[in-house]
């Protein structure tokens, strides 16, 4: 193979990122036997079809992993984030998931997630300095209405 070198790339192209991500994914499937993977994206759109909110994540290993939840500032506090999370959790249950996990910072939406039944199972203090990063999980109701 010859000598190897490490190269810094500040913004890797999607194809390059995909090589690394696929390598991790293939290892995970080989190690666990869980190969079913479903990307998940629910969007909130305006009458002009503008994206004004959304929830992104994936389903794998019987879990919903929420990576991002966002609603545009003028639309917050009107139940849109709850509707997006209901959609994501419902989709996860339809696909056989029994639990969900996510991360949020102390300056983001901790109280919102706790009201939805998510419980903190870990906290990384001072990340970023002066704040904390919380790790949450929730059991999903299988066979609910």
User: 131 by DSSP, 3-state: which?
Assistant: coil
110-130 pLDDT, tens digit each: 999 999 999 999 999 999 999
Cβ distance 44 to 62 under 8 Å?
no
The pTM (predicted TM-score) of the whole model is: 0.90
The predicted structure's pLDDT at residue 73: 97
pLDDT band at 92 (very low <50, low <70, confident <90, very high): very high
Rounded Cα gap, residues 92 and 87, in angstroms: 9
The predicted structure's pLDDT at residue 141: 82
Cβ distance 86 to 145 under 8 Å?
no
13-32 pLDDT, tens digit each: 999 999 999 999 999 999 99
The topology (CATH level 3) of 35-139 is Aminopeptidase (3.40.630)
The predicted structure's pLDDT at residue 145: 45
Question: Mean of the pLDDT values across residues 3-21?
Answer: 94
- Return the percent helix, strand and coil in the chain, to nearest 5: 30, 35, 35
Question: Mean of the pLDDT values across residues 56-75?
Answer: 98
Cβ distance 100 to 61 under 8 Å?
no
> Does the pLDDT value for residue 144 go beyond 70?
no
CA atoms within 13 A on the CB side of 92: 30
The number of helix segments (H) and strand segments (E) in the chain equals 3, 6
> Does the pLDDT value for residue 143 go beyond 70?
no
């Amino acid at each position: 193979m010859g000598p190897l070198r490490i190269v810094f790339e500040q913004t890797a192209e999607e194809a390059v990122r995909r090589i690394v991500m696929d390598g991790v994914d293939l290892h995970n499937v080989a190690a666990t036997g869980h190969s079913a993977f479903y990307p998940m994206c629910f969007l909130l759109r305006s009458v002009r079809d503008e994206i004004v909110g959304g929830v992104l994540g994936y389903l794998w290993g019987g879990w919903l992993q929420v990576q991002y939840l966002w609603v545009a500032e003028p639309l917050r506090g009107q139940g849109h984030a709850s509707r997006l999370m209901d959609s994501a959790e419902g989709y996860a249950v339809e696909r056989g998931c029994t639990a969900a996990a996510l991360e949020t910072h102390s300056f983001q939406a901790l109280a919102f997630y706790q009201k939805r039944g998510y419980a903190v199972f870990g906290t990384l203090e001072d990340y970023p300095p002066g704040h904390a990063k919380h790790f949450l999980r929730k059991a999903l109701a299988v066979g609910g209405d």
